[in-house]
Amino acid sequence: MFSSILAPTTVLTALLFYFGTQHANAFCGWFGVHYSVLGLSVSDYLIRAGDGMTVPITVVAAVGLGVLWAHRLLEARLSPRAWRTLLRRAVPVLSVAGVALVGLGLTGLVVPALLYRFPGLPGLCLAVGFLCFPLADRVHQARTGRNRSATGAVVQWTFTFVLVTVGAFWAVTDYSAAVGELRAYEYEVALPKTPDTVVFSEKDLGVRARGVVMSPCAPDAQYRFRYDGLVLVLQSGGTSLLLPREWNRADGTAVLLPGSAGTRLEFAPAGTVRDRVC
């Protein structure tokens, strides 16, 4: 019993970890930084996975529940003759929809740039499209009373499960990366209102980015150099990812600051007037 619970949990954790890496890769890549240098923890990846999976899970659950309710409502309200007519018309509709959706999904696979502006759409089309075919077959069986052999049904739904899973995996992967880019863009837009980060260092860090001001401290001070004009994006694994407040993607430079006893970070609300003293 324990193993039956542990196995699905392990698979789910692995999937969340993977989707979290896609989110982190896109987020850090927006600033020109590879996510692996930050030493993000498993918790970081799982949290980011949640950010990228909330909408897909909600949409799938809502649509599935809506379809189930609609099926029960129509079956209960329609007369037997009207219900059989609806089932007869549903078979070609599901078949045509399946062909169209699979074709659109394969188009995104062959020509990715064509659907680049719609993250997750190609994979979603594949998943829903391949699901339409066995549903059409099931509706046809329910209308005609002809049942497929048990072996044929198992084979059909096994292949369907694989194809739908691949499509869903592709969709969530693309969507997680898109959400990561969106969060990075939102952070870039919010840079003017992000709290100030002042870096004190025993040695000159050589940060010469636009908008960053280096002030030398007294020779006998514990920290010899002070850097203003930076903001903290995130910190993990002892490494801080900093950006100049005037950063932009065209020519901006990100700063990675390893944690050590030779540096200190101070924070203050954006726009706070502070004396530049060490």
Condensed to tens digits (0 to 9), the pLDDT of residues 79-111 reads 888 988 888 999 999 999 999 999 999 998 888
Angstrom distance (rounded) from CA 114 to CA 40: 33
Give the pLDDT band (50/70/90) at residue 112: confident
Shared domain check, 139 and 234: no
| Tokens at 40, concatenated | 């993000």
Shared domain check, 41 and 8: yes
Domain final residue pick, 189, 212, 238: 189
Q: Is the pLDDT of residue 239 over 50?
A: yes
Give domain status of residue 128, yes or no. yes
pTM here?
A: 0.84
Domain count of the chain? 2
Shared domain check, 104 and 238: no
Q: Is the pLDDT of residue 62 over 60?
A: yes
Shared domain check, 221 and 84: no
Give domain status of residue 274, yes or no. no
Shared domain check, 205 and 154: no
| Tokens at 129, concatenated | 């499209």
Give domain status of residue 104, yes or no. yes
Shared domain check, 230 and 104: no
Shared domain check, 141 and 202: no
DSSP letter at 222 equals S
Angstrom distance (rounded) from CA 190 to CA 113: 29
- What pLDDT digit, counting tens, does each position of 173-197 carry? 999 999 999 999 999 999 999 999 9
Which alpha helices (H) appear in the chain, and where do they start and end? 2-30, 42-77, 80-110, 121-144, 150-189
Arithmetic mean of pLDDT over the chain: 88
Give the pLDDT band (50/70/90) at residue 241: very high
Give domain status of residue 155, yes or no. yes
Shared domain check, 101 and 178: yes
Give domain status of residue 262, yes or no. yes
Q: What is the model's pLDDT at position 80?
A: 87
Higher pLDDT, 1 or 28: 28
Q: Is the separation of the CB atoms in 30 and 188 below 8 Å?
A: yes
Provide long-range contacts, Cβ within 8 A and 24+ apart, for 43-46. 44/20, 44/236, 45/16, 45/17, 45/20, 45/21, 46/13, 46/16, 46/17, 46/20
Shared domain check, 223 and 169: no
Give domain status of residue 278, yes or no. no
Domain that holds residue 230: 193-268
In this predicted structure, which of 236-245, 255-264, 268-277 has the lowest mean pLDDT?
268-277
Q: What is the model's pLDDT at position 159?
A: 93
Shared domain check, 172 and 122: yes
Give domain status of residue 122, yes or no. yes
Q: Is the pLDDT of residue 199 over 90?
A: yes
**Can you name the residues that pair with 69 across neighbouring β-strands?**
none
Domain final residue pick, 136, 154, 189: 189
Q: Is the pLDDT of residue 144 over 90?
A: no
Domain final residue pick, 174, 189, 204: 189
- Taken in order 126, 127, 130, 131, the sign of the CA dihedral is negative
CA distances from 102 to 39, 50, 133, 138, 271 (A): 39, 28, 10, 19, 53
Shared domain check, 234 and 163: no
Give domain status of residue 276, yes or no. no
Shared domain check, 202 and 157: no
CA-CA-CA-CA dihedral for 172, 177, 181, 182, to nearest 10: 10
